[in-house]
A and B are shown apart, each in its own frame.
Chain A
Amino acid sequence: MALPLKYNLRNVLIRWRTTVFTILGIAAVVAVFLVLRGMASGMEHTSGNTGDPRNILVVRNGSQAESGSLVTRDQFRTLQYFEEIARNEKNEPVISAELVMIVSAPRRGAGGEANTLLRGVTPRGMELRPQVTLKEGRWFTPGKREVVVAQRLAARFDGFELGGTIKAGPDRLTVVGHFDATGSAFDSEAWMDADECRSIFDREMYSSLLLRPRDEAALTNLLARIQSDKRLSLRAEREVDYYAKQTLTAKPLKYIASILGVVMSVGAFFAAMNTMYATVAARTREIGTLRVLGFSRFAIVLSFLIEGTFLAMLGGVLGSLLAWSGYAVLSLLGVNFGTLDFQSFAETVFQFRVTPDMMLLGVLLSAVIGFTGSFPPALRAARLPVISALKSL
């Protein structure tokens, strides 16, 4: 079937003055949607990017996050001699009992205080997390009240720079190094020696255990063994699974993105419909001519649908590019965002992230807006009586 496609597409481009605002409006809708999704996706990426699939994380039964978990020394002692756990060259079990504390610190610049996550780690724990590498300074020396902070976290808090001090109760911790954790959840943490951490905060118990089973079979075996041992009352999970579930904070953002996306799309739908109606009204005579030239009604409907969709997709592409360039600039500048993580109850640092599939979703959204918005006007165009259409001014 012949379509006057060229006519339609040229119309969008030549009469751009009529449609430019509509296109910009749709672009803004898509951009807002993508920015919100980009925030949520950044948070999810951070938690999904954390951990080693060979590791197991053990927390107390019923606790949702490490910061709210308690593991007794008895439990630790029992667990460390399980034969499924791998041994290093010194024949020590590869298991790390760690303490997670929340320490309140002043934000850099103006703006109050926020919680930060302080982790007491052991040498084993550092080996188990190859994602974390030292960037500046040196690692802490146990017993010297020293702490190493994630580079990205350090940018957000006062006193987290090299040589700065963090106040933890009556004690002061000196920052001796900065580490980088390749965009994982550890980028929101500060690390110090586990036993020192326990003594500073006067804690009997640990928060969690991180361990490495001998092999995949031992891992499945161990998961089942810890789970079924009612005496232990602990919950074991693959480290990656644990972190992948820490997305409670991203959820409301995703909801808001969807709701805003839908509501704003309805607004844009009205605008697109308006534009297309105006387009049809302004080109009544031309449509009549097309009909006389032999284009069928169906062809007219289809061509106007394509015109409307094309118009909206121009906006969609523009909006996606806008969001993407925002992402490009932000990641080039290394800008991080931070918000309260509802699970760990501490600041989580994440990066705004726009991926190609999200951009595709944005363009798809604009296409839907354009298609539905131009449907009634396209029908109207097809139903115009030929003779009076030709006569109209």
Chain B
Amino acid sequence: MKRFLQFCRHGLWLLFRPLWWLLVWVWRAVLFLLWLVNPLTWIEWVTRTWVRKFGIGHFSFVIVNAVRNQRRATLTMLSVAISSGLLVSLLTMQRELTVPPESEAASLRVIARNKVSITQPLPAKQLPVIEKIPGVVAVSPFTFFGGNFREETVTSFAQFAVDPVRFKGIIVEGRIAEGAYEDFVKDRTSCFVGADTMKRYGLKIGDRMRFTGTFYPVDLDLKIVAVFQGTVDDRGVFFHHKLLDELTGDPGTVGTWYLRVASAEVANDVIARVNRAFENTSAEVRTETERAFQMSFMSMLGNVKLIIGLISSMVVITLLLMTVSTMSMAIRERFRELAVLKALGFRRTELFAFILAESFGLAALGALVGIGGAWTFWTFIDLQKMTNGFLIYFEVTPRIMATGAIVAALLGIVSAIAPSLAVARTSVVDGLKTLD
């Protein structure tokens, strides 16, 4: 039986040997390529050349030591890189969810909605009252249609019913081709569309857009006559409120009012006046700046923000644990050498400086790779398309990158402490005796 098993194993080995060798060589080729693109390879090469020419100094000593076990240094660097990249991504996510994008024109815009909730309509007869309020430059109905484009099952971009003439005075920063807006005003079944949406679906002027209503029991069939760009969010579709009224049998309601105020100084007064104008009527309004309006959506997300914060801190902890573990491994490996250095007369502070510089350097390099990688990834990826418009900007700000870098730097310092203490505590004799 035993011999039979041996025979089988031998046979299997013969069978799989070519495959095995192929695997081994592929693995080696991959390793070689990785070695070639590894920044540590180049750092080591430069340092060694330097040392050969000018002799060894404190700095080059640290570098040569750090990359001596290139595999370990690389793995340390990579785990720091992944964690710091992740940290930066999470912070960006949190920013995206809590801080809506800002624009100058937006600070002059005010949205009035029904006090009951955003889904409750407002009577159209409020328009003349709002128009007369001092400080209001322009006002237009602004009704979220919430339709699904073509065969889609989710609302991936917003459609709004507006008063075409009045709306012109509100999105002043949107750039529209000469004469195109007039076409929009003229044609009751037309719409104008954000450049991002045009690009995403490969639409051109003259195409038709079909929407299945989810909030309203009607469907839309709109002709694209104009494209706008240059706003914070170039995705929306805007069409005639008259068309919506016609389709729904003119209920005499609008979703919200969109106002532009004369200046940022009077915005608060206007808000107070609009609110007061409809107090104790059957449709009380809540007026707020566009920014505050967006912030209120963020507040609805509830605990999700907390969860992301929690996870970010968990990532930092993981990061810390991993770096500490590798650093102590690196030092343990060289315990005897450090004891020799001690015997040669190097002081504890110098040894601490060596360890600190090494761990700090590896952490810094990892942070550079990770944060740089995260920045590149989020800057060049089409996130809007990937998440169906859930995440739009995902801007990795310098502030966030700095936070990531500071965390990584602190990490490098903290992870040097434990090994340094161990080295400082151990006497030369004990250190020399260490085997493991």
Known: A64-B214, A202-B282, A248-B154. A274 touches B326 (CB 8 A): yes
Query: Which of A101, A168, A339, A393 neighbours the largest number of chain B CB atoms within 10 Å of its CB?
Result: A339
Q: What string of 1s and 0s marks CB contacts (under 8 Å) between B300-312 and chain A?
A: 1111100100110
Contacts between the two chains (Cβ within 8 Å), count: 176
Q: Are A267 and B79 in contact (CB under 8 A)?
A: yes
Known: A102-B117, A113-B296, A169-B283. A35 touches B311 (CB 8 A): yes
Query: Which of B78, B114, B329 neighbours the largest number of chain A CB atoms within 10 Å of its CB?
Result: B329
Q: Decide if A56 is an interface residue (CB 8 Å cutoff).
A: no
Please, which residue of chain B has its CB at the minimum distance from the CB of A344?
Answer: B119
Q: Decide if B263 is an interface residue (CB 8 Å cutoff).
A: no
Distance A337 CA – B300 CA, assembled complex (angstroms): 12
Interface residues in A327-351 (C-beta closer than 8 Å to B): 337-340, 345, 347
Chain B residues near A102 (CB, 8 Å)?
116-120
Chain-A contact segment, one of B103-111, B125-133, B181-189, B314-322: B314-322
Q: Are A168 and B301 in contact (CB under 8 A)?
A: no
Q: Are B302 and A270 in contact (CB under 8 A)?
A: no
Interface residues in A103-139 (C-beta closer than 8 Å to B): 103-104, 107, 111-115
Chain A residues near B390 (CB, 8 Å)?
252
Q: Decide if A159 is an interface residue (CB 8 Å cutoff).
A: no
Q: Are A270 and B78 in contact (CB under 8 A)?
A: yes
Q: What string of 1s and 0s marks CB contacts (under 8 Å) between B330-342 and chain A?
A: 0011000000000
Q: Decide if A55 is an interface residue (CB 8 Å cutoff).
A: no
Q: Are A339 and B295 in contact (CB under 8 A)?
A: no
Distance A62 CA – B218 CA, assembled complex (angstroms): 9
Number of interface residues of B (CB under 8 A): 61
B335 to chain A, nearest CB (A): 11
Q: Are B318 and A28 in contact (CB under 8 A)?
A: yes
Interface residues in A136-184 (C-beta closer than 8 Å to B): 167-170
Chain B residues near A35 (CB, 8 Å)?
307, 310-311, 314
Interface residues in B192-216 (C-beta closer than 8 Å to A): 212-215
Known: A21-B324, A169-B116, A169-B283. A270 touches B300 (CB 8 A): no
Q: Decide if B15 is an interface residue (CB 8 Å cutoff).
A: no
Distance A273 CA – B325 CA, assembled complex (angstroms): 12
Chain B residues near A63 (CB, 8 Å)?
214-215, 217
Known: A170-B281, A170-B284. A36 touches B329 (CB 8 A): no
Q: Decide if A240 is an interface residue (CB 8 Å cutoff).
A: no
Known: A25-B318, A28-B321, A112-B295. A274 touches B75 (CB 8 A): yes
Chain A residues near B281 (CB, 8 Å)?
170
Q: Decide if A208 is an interface residue (CB 8 Å cutoff).
A: no
Chain B residues near A18 (CB, 8 Å)?
328-329, 332
B2 to chain A, nearest CB (A): 11
Chain-B contact segment, one of A89-97, A219-227, A276-284, A287-295: A276-284
Question: Which of B76, B280, B296 makes the CB contact (< 8 A) with A170?
Answer: B280
Number of interface residues of A (CB under 8 A): 63
Known: A112-B299, A170-B282, A278-B72. A62 touches B217 (CB 8 A): yes
Distance A25 CA – B75 CA, assembled complex (angstroms): 14
Q: Are A264 and B300 in contact (CB under 8 A)?
A: no
Q: Decide if A387 is an interface residue (CB 8 Å cutoff).
A: no
Q: Are A267 and B302 in contact (CB under 8 A)?
A: no
A18 to chain B, nearest CB (A): 7
Query: Which of B85, B302, B326, B333 neighbours the largest number of chain A CB atoms within 10 Å of its CB?
Result: B302
Q: Are B300 and A115 in contact (CB under 8 A)?
A: yes
Chain A residues near B284 (CB, 8 Å)?
169-170
Distance A64 CA – B332 CA, assembled complex (angstroms): 61
A174 to chain B, nearest CB (A): 17
Chain B residues near A248 (CB, 8 Å)?
154
Q: Are A22 and B300 in contact (CB under 8 A)?
A: no
Please, which residue of chain A has its CB at the minimum distance from the CB of B215?
Answer: A68
A284 to chain B, nearest CB (A): 11
Q: Are A114 and B302 in contact (CB under 8 A)?
A: yes
Q: Are B75 and A270 in contact (CB under 8 A)?
A: yes
A168 to chain B, nearest CB (A): 6
A120 to chain B, nearest CB (A): 14
Distance A219 CA – B328 CA, assembled complex (angstroms): 68
Distance A24 CA – B293 CA, assembled complex (angstroms): 43
Query: Which of B284, B303, B435 neighbours the largest number of chain A CB atoms within 10 Å of its CB?
Result: B303
Please, which residue of chain A has its CB at the minimum distance from the CB of B212?
Answer: A62
Interface contacts beyond A21-B324, A253-B304: sample of 5 additional A-B pairs, CB < 8 Å, sorted by A = A32-B318, A104-B116, A112-B296, A169-B115, A339-B304
21 cross-chain CB contacts under 8 A = A31-B314, A32-B318, A36-B307, A101-B119, A102-B118, A103-B116, A104-B116, A104-B117, A113-B296, A248-B154, A252-B387, A264-B82, A264-B315, A267-B83, A273-B75, A274-B72, A274-B325, A275-B329, A281-B333, A340-B300, A340-B302
